Amino acid sequence: MKKALTDTFGRKIEYLRLSVTDRCDLRCNYCMPKGFRNFEPPDHWLSDDEIVRLLQAFAALGLKKIRLTGGEPLVRKDISKLASMISSINGIEDLSLSTNGTQLGKYADELSRAGVQRLNISLDTLDRRDYEYITGRDVLHKVLDGIEMVKHLGFEPIKINMVVMAGINDHQIDPMLSYCREHNFTLRLIETMPMGISGQEARYLNLQPIRRRLQDKYDLVDSVMSGGGPARYLSSHDGKFKVGFITPISQHFCTTCNRVRLAVDGTLHLCLGHEDRYEFRELLRSGINDSDLREAITIAIRRKPERHEFKESPTKIVRLMSMTGG
Protein backbone atom coordinates (compact mmCIF):
# COMPACT_ATOMS: atom_id res chain seq x y z
CA MET A 1 0.00 0.00 0.00
CA LYS A 2 2.75 2.44 1.01
CA LYS A 3 4.49 2.14 -2.37
CA ALA A 4 1.29 2.33 -4.38
CA LEU A 5 1.98 5.85 -5.58
CA THR A 6 5.65 5.28 -6.38
CA ASP A 7 6.27 5.07 -10.12
CA THR A 8 8.64 2.71 -11.92
CA PHE A 9 11.44 5.32 -11.67
CA GLY A 10 11.16 5.53 -7.89
CA ARG A 11 9.37 8.88 -7.84
CA LYS A 12 6.73 9.28 -5.15
CA ILE A 13 3.59 10.87 -6.57
CA GLU A 14 2.07 13.04 -3.87
CA TYR A 15 0.59 15.82 -5.92
CA LEU A 16 -2.39 15.90 -8.26
CA ARG A 17 -3.51 18.77 -10.43
CA LEU A 18 -7.23 18.62 -10.89
CA SER A 19 -8.65 20.30 -13.95
CA VAL A 20 -12.23 21.10 -12.93
CA THR A 21 -13.13 22.39 -16.40
CA ASP A 22 -11.53 22.65 -19.83
CA ARG A 23 -13.29 25.98 -20.46
CA CYS A 24 -11.80 29.38 -19.90
CA ASP A 25 -12.94 33.00 -20.07
CA LEU A 26 -9.61 34.02 -21.66
CA ARG A 27 -7.92 32.91 -24.87
CA CYS A 28 -4.22 33.21 -24.10
CA ASN A 29 -2.69 32.74 -27.51
CA TYR A 30 -0.04 30.22 -26.33
CA CYS A 31 -2.71 28.09 -24.61
CA MET A 32 -5.94 27.82 -26.58
CA PRO A 33 -6.28 28.57 -30.32
CA LYS A 34 -8.71 31.34 -31.37
CA GLY A 35 -12.16 29.96 -32.17
CA PHE A 36 -11.44 26.65 -30.41
CA ARG A 37 -14.75 24.86 -29.71
CA ASN A 38 -13.77 21.28 -29.09
CA PHE A 39 -14.69 21.23 -25.39
CA GLU A 40 -15.67 18.15 -23.41
CA PRO A 41 -19.45 17.59 -23.49
CA PRO A 42 -21.08 18.09 -20.06
CA ASP A 43 -22.00 14.42 -19.67
CA HIS A 44 -18.27 13.64 -19.74
CA TRP A 45 -17.48 15.97 -16.83
CA LEU A 46 -16.87 14.20 -13.58
CA SER A 47 -19.42 15.30 -10.99
CA ASP A 48 -18.27 16.71 -7.63
CA ASP A 49 -19.06 13.35 -6.01
CA GLU A 50 -17.12 11.38 -8.64
CA ILE A 51 -14.12 13.68 -8.21
CA VAL A 52 -14.20 13.36 -4.43
CA ARG A 53 -14.51 9.57 -4.59
CA LEU A 54 -11.49 9.29 -6.86
CA LEU A 55 -9.45 11.72 -4.77
CA GLN A 56 -10.32 9.84 -1.59
CA ALA A 57 -8.89 6.70 -3.18
CA PHE A 58 -5.72 8.61 -4.15
CA ALA A 59 -5.44 10.07 -0.65
CA ALA A 60 -5.81 6.62 0.90
CA LEU A 61 -2.74 5.63 -1.14
CA GLY A 62 -0.68 8.63 0.00
CA LEU A 63 -1.62 11.64 -2.14
CA LYS A 64 -1.15 14.81 -0.09
CA LYS A 65 -1.45 17.86 -2.29
CA ILE A 66 -4.11 18.99 -4.75
CA ARG A 67 -4.20 22.01 -6.98
CA LEU A 68 -7.43 23.10 -8.65
CA THR A 69 -6.81 24.23 -12.19
CA GLY A 70 -8.33 24.16 -15.66
CA GLY A 71 -9.21 25.75 -18.11
CA GLU A 72 -10.18 28.39 -15.64
CA PRO A 73 -11.31 26.75 -12.38
CA LEU A 74 -13.46 29.72 -11.35
CA VAL A 75 -15.80 29.18 -14.31
CA ARG A 76 -16.93 25.82 -12.86
CA LYS A 77 -20.29 26.20 -11.12
CA ASP A 78 -20.05 26.00 -7.31
CA ILE A 79 -16.26 25.70 -7.32
CA SER A 80 -16.07 26.69 -3.64
CA LYS A 81 -18.38 23.82 -2.69
CA LEU A 82 -16.09 21.38 -4.51
CA ALA A 83 -13.04 22.99 -2.90
CA SER A 84 -14.58 22.55 0.52
CA MET A 85 -15.38 18.87 -0.17
CA ILE A 86 -11.78 18.27 -1.30
CA SER A 87 -10.18 20.07 1.62
CA SER A 88 -12.13 17.77 3.98
CA ILE A 89 -10.66 14.58 2.47
CA ASN A 90 -8.57 12.66 4.99
CA GLY A 91 -4.89 12.89 4.12
CA ILE A 92 -5.09 15.99 1.91
CA GLU A 93 -2.76 18.48 3.57
CA ASP A 94 -2.57 21.18 0.96
CA LEU A 95 -5.21 22.61 -1.38
CA SER A 96 -4.21 25.34 -3.79
CA LEU A 97 -5.64 26.95 -6.90
CA SER A 98 -4.31 28.31 -10.18
CA THR A 99 -6.40 31.06 -11.73
CA ASN A 100 -6.22 33.77 -14.35
CA GLY A 101 -7.67 36.07 -11.69
CA THR A 102 -10.52 37.60 -13.69
CA GLN A 103 -13.09 36.45 -11.14
CA LEU A 104 -11.00 36.48 -7.98
CA GLY A 105 -12.80 39.55 -6.65
CA LYS A 106 -16.03 37.55 -6.69
CA TYR A 107 -14.75 34.24 -5.28
CA ALA A 108 -11.67 34.93 -3.16
CA ASP A 109 -13.48 35.16 0.15
CA GLU A 110 -15.49 31.95 -0.24
CA LEU A 111 -12.45 30.08 -1.59
CA SER A 112 -10.52 31.01 1.50
CA ARG A 113 -13.37 29.77 3.71
CA ALA A 114 -13.54 26.56 1.62
CA GLY A 115 -9.97 25.70 2.60
CA VAL A 116 -7.96 26.91 -0.39
CA GLN A 117 -4.65 27.83 1.20
CA ARG A 118 -2.49 29.06 -1.62
CA LEU A 119 -3.01 30.84 -4.93
CA ASN A 120 -1.07 30.98 -8.17
CA ILE A 121 -2.27 33.77 -10.40
CA SER A 122 -1.38 33.93 -14.07
CA LEU A 123 -0.38 37.38 -15.25
CA ASP A 124 1.85 37.81 -18.28
CA THR A 125 2.08 41.60 -18.40
CA LEU A 126 1.09 44.82 -16.63
CA ASP A 127 0.45 46.60 -19.90
CA ARG A 128 -3.24 46.82 -20.74
CA ARG A 129 -2.82 46.57 -24.53
CA ASP A 130 -0.34 43.69 -24.30
CA TYR A 131 -2.69 41.93 -21.90
CA GLU A 132 -5.55 42.20 -24.37
CA TYR A 133 -3.30 41.04 -27.20
CA ILE A 134 -2.18 37.94 -25.27
CA THR A 135 -5.48 36.96 -23.62
CA GLY A 136 -8.07 38.29 -26.08
CA ARG A 137 -9.82 40.38 -23.40
CA ASP A 138 -9.40 43.86 -21.99
CA VAL A 139 -9.71 42.82 -18.34
CA LEU A 140 -6.32 43.57 -16.81
CA HIS A 141 -7.96 45.97 -14.31
CA LYS A 142 -10.20 43.16 -13.01
CA VAL A 143 -7.23 40.85 -12.48
CA LEU A 144 -5.25 43.54 -10.65
CA ASP A 145 -8.26 44.30 -8.43
CA GLY A 146 -8.69 40.59 -7.69
CA ILE A 147 -5.01 40.28 -6.78
CA GLU A 148 -5.32 43.27 -4.44
CA MET A 149 -8.28 41.60 -2.78
CA VAL A 150 -6.56 38.26 -2.13
CA LYS A 151 -3.59 40.11 -0.71
CA HIS A 152 -5.87 41.76 1.83
CA LEU A 153 -7.57 38.46 2.62
CA GLY A 154 -4.16 37.18 3.72
CA PHE A 155 -3.47 34.41 1.19
CA GLU A 156 0.21 33.57 1.57
CA PRO A 157 2.30 33.08 -0.43
CA ILE A 158 0.81 34.59 -3.59
CA LYS A 159 2.67 33.41 -6.67
CA ILE A 160 2.37 35.28 -9.94
CA ASN A 161 3.01 33.11 -12.99
CA MET A 162 4.27 34.85 -16.10
CA VAL A 163 4.71 32.90 -19.34
CA VAL A 164 7.49 34.72 -21.17
CA MET A 165 7.44 35.05 -24.96
CA ALA A 166 10.15 36.58 -27.13
CA GLY A 167 9.14 39.97 -28.49
CA ILE A 168 5.68 39.73 -26.94
CA ASN A 169 6.12 40.34 -23.23
CA ASP A 170 9.81 39.87 -22.40
CA HIS A 171 10.05 43.69 -22.06
CA GLN A 172 7.63 43.33 -19.15
CA ILE A 173 9.88 41.15 -16.98
CA ASP A 174 11.42 44.05 -15.04
CA PRO A 175 8.10 45.89 -14.45
CA MET A 176 6.57 42.59 -13.28
CA LEU A 177 9.51 42.02 -10.97
CA SER A 178 9.11 45.50 -9.43
CA TYR A 179 5.37 44.99 -9.03
CA CYS A 180 5.82 41.64 -7.28
CA ARG A 181 8.60 42.97 -5.09
CA GLU A 182 6.47 45.94 -4.03
CA HIS A 183 3.51 43.70 -3.09
CA ASN A 184 5.52 40.85 -1.61
CA PHE A 185 4.42 38.35 -4.28
CA THR A 186 6.66 35.62 -5.67
CA LEU A 187 7.17 36.05 -9.41
CA ARG A 188 7.67 32.89 -11.49
CA LEU A 189 8.83 33.10 -15.06
CA ILE A 190 7.76 30.20 -17.25
CA GLU A 191 9.05 28.91 -20.59
CA THR A 192 6.39 28.11 -23.17
CA MET A 193 5.76 24.41 -23.73
CA PRO A 194 4.89 23.03 -27.18
CA MET A 195 1.47 21.74 -26.18
CA GLY A 196 -0.98 21.73 -29.05
CA ILE A 197 -0.75 24.08 -31.99
CA SER A 198 -1.01 27.18 -29.79
CA GLY A 199 1.93 26.13 -27.59
CA GLN A 200 3.97 25.10 -30.63
CA GLU A 201 3.45 28.45 -32.34
CA ALA A 202 4.28 30.46 -29.20
CA ARG A 203 7.51 32.49 -29.32
CA TYR A 204 9.67 30.39 -27.02
CA LEU A 205 12.34 32.21 -25.06
CA ASN A 206 15.17 30.42 -23.22
CA LEU A 207 15.05 31.79 -19.66
CA GLN A 208 18.64 30.94 -18.67
CA PRO A 209 20.13 34.24 -19.98
CA ILE A 210 17.24 36.11 -18.33
CA ARG A 211 18.04 34.40 -15.05
CA ARG A 212 21.69 35.47 -15.25
CA ARG A 213 20.70 39.05 -16.14
CA LEU A 214 18.26 39.37 -13.23
CA GLN A 215 20.71 37.78 -10.82
CA ASP A 216 23.37 40.41 -11.70
CA LYS A 217 21.06 43.40 -11.98
CA TYR A 218 19.21 42.86 -8.69
CA ASP A 219 22.04 41.13 -6.79
CA LEU A 220 20.03 37.93 -6.21
CA VAL A 221 21.26 34.64 -4.73
CA ASP A 222 20.24 31.00 -5.29
CA SER A 223 17.37 30.00 -3.08
CA VAL A 224 14.67 27.38 -2.47
CA MET A 225 11.02 27.73 -1.62
CA SER A 226 8.90 25.16 0.17
CA GLY A 227 6.05 23.94 -2.02
CA GLY A 228 7.94 25.60 -4.84
CA GLY A 229 7.32 22.73 -7.26
CA PRO A 230 9.57 22.62 -10.30
CA ALA A 231 10.72 26.24 -10.08
CA ARG A 232 14.33 27.10 -9.33
CA TYR A 233 14.53 30.25 -7.27
CA LEU A 234 16.66 33.33 -6.83
CA SER A 235 16.08 35.60 -3.88
CA SER A 236 17.19 38.89 -2.40
CA HIS A 237 19.91 38.58 0.29
CA ASP A 238 17.36 39.01 3.09
CA GLY A 239 15.23 36.26 1.49
CA LYS A 240 12.18 38.54 1.38
CA PHE A 241 11.81 38.63 -2.39
CA LYS A 242 11.88 35.54 -4.60
CA VAL A 243 11.76 34.99 -8.33
CA GLY A 244 11.32 31.49 -9.72
CA PHE A 245 12.19 30.01 -13.11
CA ILE A 246 10.15 27.18 -14.57
CA THR A 247 12.26 25.96 -17.44
CA PRO A 248 10.85 22.72 -18.85
CA ILE A 249 12.75 23.17 -22.11
CA SER A 250 16.12 24.73 -21.26
CA GLN A 251 16.57 22.73 -18.02
CA HIS A 252 13.94 20.07 -17.45
CA PHE A 253 13.02 18.83 -13.98
CA CYS A 254 11.53 15.41 -14.77
CA THR A 255 13.71 13.48 -12.31
CA THR A 256 11.94 15.19 -9.41
CA CYS A 257 8.45 15.15 -10.94
CA ASN A 258 5.96 14.18 -8.24
CA ARG A 259 2.72 15.01 -10.01
CA VAL A 260 -0.05 13.72 -12.22
CA ARG A 261 -2.99 15.54 -13.80
CA LEU A 262 -6.65 14.62 -13.78
CA ALA A 263 -8.70 16.16 -16.60
CA VAL A 264 -12.37 17.09 -16.19
CA ASP A 265 -13.45 14.00 -18.15
CA GLY A 266 -11.70 11.64 -15.75
CA THR A 267 -8.56 11.09 -17.83
CA LEU A 268 -5.43 10.85 -15.71
CA HIS A 269 -2.49 12.31 -17.64
CA LEU A 270 0.80 10.91 -16.39
CA CYS A 271 3.03 13.51 -18.08
CA LEU A 272 2.43 16.80 -19.89
CA GLY A 273 4.72 15.72 -22.69
CA HIS A 274 3.34 12.23 -23.41
CA GLU A 275 0.04 10.66 -24.29
CA ASP A 276 0.31 8.02 -21.51
CA ARG A 277 -3.01 8.18 -19.70
CA TYR A 278 -5.57 6.21 -17.75
CA GLU A 279 -9.34 6.67 -18.10
CA PHE A 280 -11.26 6.73 -14.83
CA ARG A 281 -14.71 8.02 -15.90
CA GLU A 282 -16.19 4.74 -17.10
CA LEU A 283 -14.64 2.89 -14.16
CA LEU A 284 -16.23 5.30 -11.70
CA ARG A 285 -19.57 4.99 -13.45
CA SER A 286 -19.41 1.20 -13.61
CA GLY A 287 -19.87 0.78 -9.85
CA ILE A 288 -16.26 -0.21 -9.15
CA ASN A 289 -15.52 -0.95 -5.47
CA ASP A 290 -12.95 1.01 -3.44
CA SER A 291 -10.28 -1.65 -3.45
CA ASP A 292 -10.43 -2.12 -7.25
CA LEU A 293 -10.36 1.65 -7.66
CA ARG A 294 -7.16 1.85 -5.61
CA GLU A 295 -5.69 -1.00 -7.66
CA ALA A 296 -6.54 0.90 -10.88
CA ILE A 297 -4.72 3.95 -9.52
CA THR A 298 -1.56 1.96 -8.79
CA ILE A 299 -1.66 0.52 -12.32
CA ALA A 300 -2.07 4.03 -13.73
CA ILE A 301 0.89 5.41 -11.76
CA ARG A 302 3.14 2.71 -13.20
CA ARG A 303 2.49 4.21 -16.64
CA LYS A 304 4.22 7.46 -15.77
CA PRO A 305 6.99 8.03 -18.34
CA GLU A 306 10.52 8.95 -17.31
CA ARG A 307 10.61 12.36 -18.95
CA HIS A 308 8.96 14.56 -21.52
CA GLU A 309 10.40 14.95 -25.01
CA PHE A 310 9.41 18.54 -25.73
CA LYS A 311 12.85 19.28 -27.15
CA GLU A 312 13.32 16.10 -29.19
CA SER A 313 9.72 15.91 -30.48
CA PRO A 314 8.27 19.42 -30.31
CA THR A 315 5.18 18.65 -32.39
CA LYS A 316 4.26 15.41 -30.64
CA ILE A 317 1.60 16.72 -28.24
CA VAL A 318 -1.61 17.85 -29.94
CA ARG A 319 -3.46 18.15 -26.62
CA LEU A 320 -3.80 21.73 -25.38
CA MET A 321 -2.65 22.82 -21.93
CA SER A 322 -6.21 23.95 -21.17
CA MET A 323 -7.48 20.36 -21.71
CA THR A 324 -4.84 18.84 -19.49
CA GLY A 325 -4.73 21.16 -16.49
CA GLY A 326 -1.61 23.31 -16.38
Among 21, 56, 69, 172, binds ligand SAM (CB under 6 A): 69
Q: How many CB atoms lie within 10 A of CB 166?
A: 12
Check if the beta carbon of residue 22 is closer than 8 Å to that of residue 76: no
Among 13, 18, 20, 24, binds ligand SAM (CB under 6 A): 24
DSSP line for 176-231: HHHHHHHHTPEEEEEE----HHHHHHS----SHHHHHHHHHHHT-EEE--TT-TT-
Using the minimum distance from each CB to ligand SAM, give the nearer residue, 193 or 296: 193
Among 163, 168, 187, 220, binds ligand SAM (CB under 6 A): 163
**In the complex, what is the shortest distance from the CB of residue 219 to ligand SAM, in angstroms, rounded to a whole number?**
28
Find, among 89, 72, 225, the residue nearest to 159 by Cα: 225
In three-state secondary structure terms, 159 is strand
Query: Using the rule CB under 6 A, is 146 a contact of ligand SAM?
Result: no
Backbone φ/ψ region at 139: left (φ over 0), alpha (ψ -120 to 50), beta? alpha
Among 72, 96, 231, 274, binds ligand SAM (CB under 6 A): 72
Among 57, 79, 95, 195, binds ligand SAM (CB under 6 A): 195
**In the complex, what is the shortest distance from the CB of residue 231 to ligand SAM, in angstroms, rounded to a whole number?**
12
Among 80, 98, 135, 235, binds ligand SAM (CB under 6 A): 98
Length of the chain counted residue by residue: 326
Query: Using the rule CB under 6 A, is 247 a contact of ligand SAM?
Result: no
**In the complex, what is the shortest distance from the CB of residue 147 to ligand SAM, in angstroms, rounded to a whole number?**
12
Q: Which of residues 106-125 bind ligand SAM (CB under 6 A)?
A: 122
Alpha helices in the chain, H assignment, sequence order: 48-61, 79-87, 104-113, 128-135, 140-153, 173-183, 196-201, 208-218, 281-285, 290-301, 321-324
Query: Using the rule CB under 6 A, is 322 a contact of ligand SAM?
Result: yes
Using the minimum distance from each CB to ligand SAM, give the nearer residue, 193 or 301: 193
- Say which residues have a Cβ less than 8 Å from residue 292's Cβ, sequence separation at least 6: none
Q: What share of the chain is helix, strand, coil (3-state, %, to 5)?
A: 35, 20, 45
Check if the beta carbon of residue 292 is closer than 8 Å to that of residue 299: no
In three-state secondary structure terms, 266 is coil
Using the minimum distance from each CB to ligand SAM, give the nearer residue, 146 or 199: 199
**In the complex, what is the shortest distance from the CB of residue 174 to ligand SAM, in angstroms, rounded to a whole number?**
19
From CA 24, how far away is CA 7, in angstroms rounded?
Answer: 32
**In the complex, what is the shortest distance from the CB of residue 288 to ligand SAM, in angstroms, rounded to a whole number?**
29
Query: Using the rule CB under 6 A, is 193 a contact of ligand SAM?
Result: yes
Binding segment (CB under 6 A) for ligand SAM, from list 64-72, 127-135, 177-185, 250-258: 64-72
Contact positions vs ligand SAM (CB under 6 A): 24, 28, 30-31, 69-70, 72, 98-100, 122, 161, 163, 190, 192-193, 195, 199, 202, 321-322, 326
